Structure formats: structure tokens, C-alpha cells
Amino acid sequence: MRASVDKELCIGCGVCEAECPEVFRIADDGLAEAIEGELTEEVLEKAQEAKEQCPVEAITIE
């Protein structure tokens, strides 16, 4: 499973970073980005939680 952020939708609210900083961070452009590569079992659940809390549904995990 990999996480990605649609920067067209992201409003930079920071919820995903607060929920799961292992996977998401606010980049220099003020919008979120996800780490590259496969998510480990340890972070997957938190990443899913962050996805659910994103107010604009900008996060995809697949």
C-alpha cells in the first residue's frame, strides 16, 4: 500500500501530519505530501486514520 496526496484538493490544514507524521508532512509549498514507497504495517492504520480525517478527501491509499 502506498499513500499519495492530491495537491489540487489539499488545503494544507495539517490534519494528516498531526495524525500520522510518519507518512505525511506539510511541504515547502504549504501543502501535504506523502512519503515515497510502501507503507509498513506499523503506519498503515494511522495513515488510514489520517485519510479518513482529511476534510477534502485529498488522500489516497492503495
Chain residues in the site for ligand SF4 (CB under 6 A) = 5, 10-16, 24, 32, 54-56, 58-59
The CA distance from 48 to 43, in Å, is: 9
Residue closer to ligand SF4 by CB (options 5, 39) is: 5
CB of 53 to ligand SF4, least distance (A): 6
Residue closer to ligand SF4 by CB (options 21, 40) is: 21
The CA distance from 3 to 38, in Å, is: 8
CB of 42 to ligand SF4, least distance (A): 20
What are the C-alpha distances in Å from 26 to residues 2, 8, 12, 37? 17, 14, 7, 18
